Chains A and B, each alone.
Chain A
């Protein structure tokens, strides 16, 4: 009886330490190293997996401060050539239980950027299936840039219109005063010509009189 109990306990211990895909606390990870790095892709081997477990432990430590997660707390299984695998996180305080999915998700979300950088990958090439990458909020500048471009163009055009209109008005005024001056000049000329009419000054050769040419 006692042996059976012991065996059961031992078995459950072992079971708790074996990672199973599709378990309620397990996440699937997928890496696309060649897509991300092309020629400079590194090969995936056990050392890289060790680094992964270490970064996950780091993420868990940051999230649950005080609990010192170690590489041995991260269980990995079902590795494929893809490269993809499943992982589960064992609790530090109670080695037989697993950390719930929600906590693991939050921990990964917080340290996502660090995890990505450790592997030179991005949110799209290092996928945690089920954990959506948080969308970066778009950068909204204080003044919309298009208003600046609009302001510049309209400023130039407006200045041009004002300049041309003012020039036209000034030109018209100048023409009017010139016309008035010419008329006035023409009248005095005639007077002078009428007064000083002598045989020497021949008005028909004067070229500032308004006589229609034949």
Chain B
């Protein structure tokens, strides 16, 4: 086990078995985004046609990056900071950038889990609390804000978030959200309490349970009326949409963020595995399972959305039928949903004036199907609305939120590991502090910082973090990773590493991708992303009950100070790369001796992988 390690080093923790390692990587890659971002993209980008840019991005960008990270972590047997420092001291900042990004992402990601917990706790009631509006103060009717929007919207925006009207108004801290946030961080802590030993056991449940629930939902959803309409709508390809470059950009970014590369978590996970492990197969498995999960999950999601659209369509029809029946005093149920169209045409010809006086809403199934949502909107508004109509709502709600929670929790593991492993590798803290305490401190600090998301304006801040922390910095880090391994370490040396680990050199496909295709794609995506973001002043939708066209959201521009914070969030992780490089250059210039010449008499062969902190 320790043949190639220094005898002076402590034994590195190890996975109990291969399955644990694979499940952890899959769990990290498969997150809530697979369920609530991918189906949305499929829907707005022409259904089945979107799969083409998506699969191309997976094969030429996602899989090579994944393979690279798993291989380099497994070879160097260090976390992200150690790996990049070993490849070249000038690149040490890449690891620190990964660590900062992992920390920032874990802050807002756990807030999502807190909200999911909130909904989970509320699913144990009959009737579900988001199905009815509360009464107003004099009990003559329903609450005004709830009447104008829907009860589901009201429950999300008012009772869960108590959202303010814009990002500048902070509002008060919602103690209910604080409680849920504390629970979420406690659950993360208990899974990490023994490091990867406890996390590896937790992952057996958190990585497999979502698949079980997805299958149950698939069976249930396919039997709902209107499910087939939803699936047809999802997968009907619109080929002309492939001409739009935005589609390709979104496919590339979706694959990139979906696989969770550049966080440092994957490098940390693979550093705990055996040295001679077939990481090529692991990378292929993780990448393909991630995309397959996205596809598999979109089927029940869209069946349920089709069901919801059909319910809304039927409700619209019923309302119109009632209006017509009452106006013309037809016998009850003479006009049914089936002969509705005939009667509408008949009335339009015979009594056009009275029809227009009735203000009938046009009922179009396609229009209802087009109402799309992604992110928290899909889970907390669209899905909860659909669940009310399903028989046995509580069970479905509970199952859905547990599934979302375990998906998010297994992704949180990767984020937290991306922070913990560098901390232990960099030896930033004295040795006598036990690991449990370090993990606990990290959880407490993260919880305290994440309290900003518990303010009234918390949701707006979360959108800021979501859009800007988890995008441009990751692209830049991934680009440096590719360049660092392939060009600084060298393709030849990396091939030798892979030969050592897997028993064969990487074939021409991998080489071509690593050397040419993936860096070019990353560069193109990065430039396109920055250009598109910089083209217009960023705006955000705000929930304002006093807005004239409420319940539509009001589009506001970010104020200047928030814009400055956005720039900071993009820049701070990245700035460590040039800072560390400069620091090394200056230090290297002052002291001519390079750390590589300090050969220890007891080390043999493995001195490449050796990481000597603070020796220069």
A-to-B contact residues, CB < 8 Å = 30-35, 80-84, 135, 137-138, 145-150, 153-154, 157-158, 160-161, 164-165, 168, 172
Q: How far, in Å, is A24 (CB) from chain B's closest CB?
A: 22
With a cutoff of 8 Å between Cβ atoms, the chain B residues found around residue A161 in the complex are 186, 189-190, 193
With a cutoff of 8 Å between Cβ atoms, the chain A residues found around residue B141 in the complex are 135
Q: Is the CB of B124 within 8 A of A157?
A: no
Q: Is the CB of A164 within 8 A of B190?
A: yes
With a cutoff of 8 Å between Cβ atoms, the chain A residues found around residue B331 in the complex are 34, 81-83
Q: Is the CB of A81 within 8 A of B186?
A: no
Q: Is the CB of B332 within 8 A of A146?
A: no
Q: How far, in Å, is A112 (CB) from chain B's closest CB?
A: 17
Q: Which one of B131-139, B419-427, B475-483, B551-559 is at the A interface? A: B131-139
Q: How far, in Å, is A122 (CB) from chain B's closest CB?
A: 14
Q: Is the CB of B183 within 8 A of A157?
A: yes
Q: How far, in Å, is B521 (CB) from chain A's closest CB?
A: 43
Q: Is the CB of A82 within 8 A of B326?
A: yes
Given contacts A135-B135, A153-B121, 9 further A-B contacts (CB under 8 A): A81-B330, A82-B331, A138-B134, A138-B135, A145-B124, A160-B190, A164-B190, A168-B194, A172-B434
With a cutoff of 8 Å between Cβ atoms, the chain B residues found around residue A82 in the complex are 325-326, 329-332
Q: Is B333's beta carbon under 8 Å from chain A?
A: yes
14 A-B pairs with C-beta separation under 8 A: A32-B333, A80-B329, A81-B330, A81-B331, A82-B329, A135-B135, A138-B135, A145-B125, A146-B118, A146-B122, A150-B183, A157-B183, A157-B187, A168-B434
A32-B332, A80-B329, A135-B139 as given contacts; A150 in contact with B179, CB under 8 Å: yes
Q: Is the CB of A35 within 8 A of B333?
A: yes
CA distance A158 to B189 in the complex (A): 10
B-to-A contact residues, CB < 8 Å = 117-118, 120-122, 124-125, 132, 134-135, 139-142, 179-180, 183, 186-187, 189-190, 193-194, 198, 325-326, 329-333, 434, 436
Name which residue of chain B comes closest to A168, CB basis.
Answer: B436
CA distance A82 to B117 in the complex (A): 49
Q: Is the CB of B186 within 8 A of A154?
A: yes
CA distance A80 to B142 in the complex (A): 33
Q: Is the CB of A83 within 8 A of B186?
A: no
CA distance A168 to B198 in the complex (A): 13
CA distance A150 to B194 in the complex (A): 24
With a cutoff of 8 Å between Cβ atoms, the chain B residues found around residue A32 in the complex are 332-333
With a cutoff of 8 Å between Cβ atoms, the chain A residues found around residue B125 in the complex are 145-146
CA distance A99 to B178 in the complex (A): 59
Q: How far, in Å, is A41 (CB) from chain B's closest CB?
A: 8
Q: Is the CB of A31 within 8 A of B332?
A: yes
Name which residue of chain B comes closest to A153, CB basis.
Answer: B183
With a cutoff of 8 Å between Cβ atoms, the chain A residues found around residue B434 in the complex are 168, 172
Q: How far, in Å, is A65 (CB) from chain B's closest CB?
A: 27
Q: Is the CB of B121 within 8 A of A149?
A: yes
Q: How far, in Å, is B496 (CB) from chain A's closest CB?
A: 32
Q: Is the CB of A137 within 8 A of B329?
A: no
CA distance A82 to B120 in the complex (A): 45
With a cutoff of 8 Å between Cβ atoms, the chain A residues found around residue B179 in the complex are 150
Q: Is the CB of A158 within 8 A of B186?
A: yes
CA distance A33 to B122 in the complex (A): 36
Name which residue of chain A comes closest to B321, CB basis.
Answer: A35
Out of B139, B142, B329, B333, name the residue touching A84 (CB < 8 Å).
Answer: B329
Q: Is the CB of B333 within 8 A of A34?
A: yes
CA distance A33 to B332 in the complex (A): 7
With a cutoff of 8 Å between Cβ atoms, the chain B residues found around residue A83 in the complex are 331-332
With a cutoff of 8 Å between Cβ atoms, the chain A residues found around residue B134 in the complex are 138
With a cutoff of 8 Å between Cβ atoms, the chain A residues found around residue B180 in the complex are 150
With a cutoff of 8 Å between Cβ atoms, the chain A residues found around residue B194 in the complex are 164, 168
Name which residue of chain A comes closest to B187, CB basis.
Answer: A157
CA distance A84 to B330 in the complex (A): 10
